[in-house]
Amino acid sequence: MITLKGAAVSAKIRVEVTELLHGLSGAAPKLAIVRVGERPDDMSYERGALKKMENFGLQAESFSFPADISDEAFQKEFRRINDNPEIEGILLLRPLPKQINEREIERMIDPDKDLDGISPENIARVFAGEAEGFAPCTAEAVIEVLKANDIDMCGKRAAIVGRSMVVGRPLSMLLLKENATVTICHTRTKELEKTCQDAQILIAAAGKAKMIDASFVGADAVVIDVGINVDNDGKLCGDVDFDSLDGIASMATPVPGGVGTVTTAVLAKHLVMAAKKHRSS
């Protein structure tokens, strides 16, 4: 079984980003990372994103707010970031605390700065399979991993376990755009093992530690693990029991070291694309 490492994919995206940057005049594009509260997941992702932007020659600024900020105050702060012409892309860490009307923010964010595809405008574009617009970075990272490893998707049976708005749903549309035959599975799916076994490309995005083991995987399948969980020993692990797939799957992504690092590379690519559009308009 070949291990599909995220670092190699991220390096390829870095080359693309560097090329795009050469075509841009002016300062390096700037990302705003907006965080409310101090959830460890958010802070870990924020650190990774900041590091990646620096590594890719891009600017990033963190905007953090107390967990108990009022809806009104946050809307005002977010509007200010959204309207700032020096900020060409925004990453909003979610979910937001309950007192904040997240839907209002999704509708407020400038679709051209909405690098993680949370606005209706970008969602509709992903759904329609359009070339323009930004898909959620994690969903797109899966496509980048497949493409970077020359895994043809056209006509292939792809199964996704999980139907979230962050991965499962948008990924189904991105795979469809690549002409895969797409099956969306979830907690209510009957005979999940059988359905997964039938897939040539299997994507685990269920958010359940090591739930996908060898019994779910068909011979020579490509397995992409989007999960980020903590196992019983407190160690980071994916939705896939990676070691169990050896001798069955043809290729699989590890966790950590797989899709995660590609996600922030996609974020960087989106930022440069946003800057390019912004500066040419």
Binding residues for a second copy, rule: CB under 8 A, are 120-121, 123-124, 127-128, 154-157, 163, 165, 169, 172-173, 176, 179, 181-186, 188-190, 195
Gap between the Cα atoms of 175 and 140, Å rounded: 9
212 marked among binding-site residues: no
Of 52 and 94, the one with the shorter C-beta distance to a second copy is 94
Q: What are the tokens at 183? A: 């099956």
Please tell me whether residue 80 adopts helix, strand or coil conformation: helix
Give the nearest distance from C-beta 75 to a second copy in angstroms.
19
Which amino acid is it at 111?
A: P
| DSSP state for residue 65 in the 8-state scheme | E
280 marked among binding-site residues: no
Q: What are the tokens at 104? A: 């209002």
Give the nearest distance from C-beta 190 to a second copy in angstroms.
4
Of 172 and 264, the one with the shorter C-beta distance to a second copy is 172
Of 11 and 124, the one with the shorter C-beta distance to a second copy is 124
Give the nearest distance from C-beta 109 to a second copy in angstroms.
13
Of 185 and 267, the one with the shorter C-beta distance to a second copy is 185
203 marked among binding-site residues: no
Partner residues linked to 237 by β-bridges: 229
Give the nearest distance from C-beta 3 to a second copy in angstroms.
27
Is 69 within 8 Å of 36 (Cβ atoms)? Answer: yes
Gap between the Cα atoms of 277 and 11, Å rounded: 23
Of 186 and 235, the one with the shorter C-beta distance to a second copy is 186
Q: To which residue do tokens 């700032």 refer?
A: 84
Cα–Cα–Cα angle for 119, 97, 134, rounded to 5 degrees: 20
Give the nearest distance from C-beta 173 to a second copy in angstroms.
7
User: Concatenated DSSP letters for 96-108?
Assistant: PPTTS-HHHHHHH
Residues in binding site: 162-164, 228
Residues in binding site for NADP(+): 162-164, 228
